[in-house]
């Protein structure tokens, strides 16, 4: 058994992910370009799903109920520009956590960004 910690453990586990998701959604919901995507959504449910997704993506406990990102985001008209704004808010939220080392911060962003093709609307995949 390896003594090496997962990215999830290195950043502080469940408490750190909960805090990161809370800060992240404050930023996203305050963004005038992104807020319309969430008007009819339950913020509590969004945070719960995002927390589960982040935990799984960072090698934490996988407690997701088979979240299908492509299905969830289908037809929403999410462009690469929208996703870039979303990721920039994540970067800002991660950067504010002084306990997260630079290499781990880059790991978080990289792992979350790998799902971009499942989020961007196919009709908008080539946009800037």
Lookup: tokens for 89: 């808010």
Residue 56 belongs to domain with CATH number = 1.10.490.10
Segment 98-125 mean pLDDT: 84
Section 100-120 average pLDDT: 90
How much is the pLDDT for 66?
Answer: 67
Say what the pTM is.
0.83
pLDDT, tens only, 50-104 = 898 889 889 998 765 667 778 888 888 899 999 999 999 999 999 999 899 999 9
Enter the tokens of residue 19: 């805090």
Residue 35: inside a domain:
yes
Alpha helices in 31-79 (DSSP H): 43-57, 69-73
Give the total number of structural domains in the chain.
Answer: 1
Q: 4 in a domain, yes or no?
A: no
- Residue 101 sits in which domain range? 9-124
Residue 2 lies in a domain: no
Position with higher pLDDT, 127 vs 69: 69
The reported pLDDT for the residue numbered 118 is: 86
Q: Return the pLDDT at 1.
A: 44
Q: Is residue 55 part of a domain?
A: yes
Give the integer Cα–Cα distance in Å for 9 and 82.
30
Asked whether 59 and 8 are in contact (CB, 8 A), the reply is yes
What does the block give as tokens for 78?
């999410």
Closest CA to 6 of 115, 112, 110, 108: 108
3 assigned to some structural domain:
no
In a domain, 106, yes or no: yes
């Amino acid at each position: 058994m390896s003594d090496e910690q997962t990215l999830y453990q290195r950043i502080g586990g469940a408490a750190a992910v909960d805090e990161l998701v809370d800060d992240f959604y404050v930023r996203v919901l305050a963004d005038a370009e992104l807020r319309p995507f969430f008007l009819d959504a339950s913020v509590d449910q969004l945070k719960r799903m995002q927390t589960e997704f982040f935990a799984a993506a960072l090698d934490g406990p996988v407690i997701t109920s088979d979240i299908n990102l492509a299905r969830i985001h289908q037809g929403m008209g999410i462009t690469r520009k929208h996703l870039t704004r979303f990721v920039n808010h994540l970067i800002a939220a991660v950067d504010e956590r002084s306990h997260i080392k630079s290499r781990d911060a880059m790991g978080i962003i990289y792992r979350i960004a790998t799902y971009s093709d499942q989020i961007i609307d196919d009709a908008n995949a080539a946009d800037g």
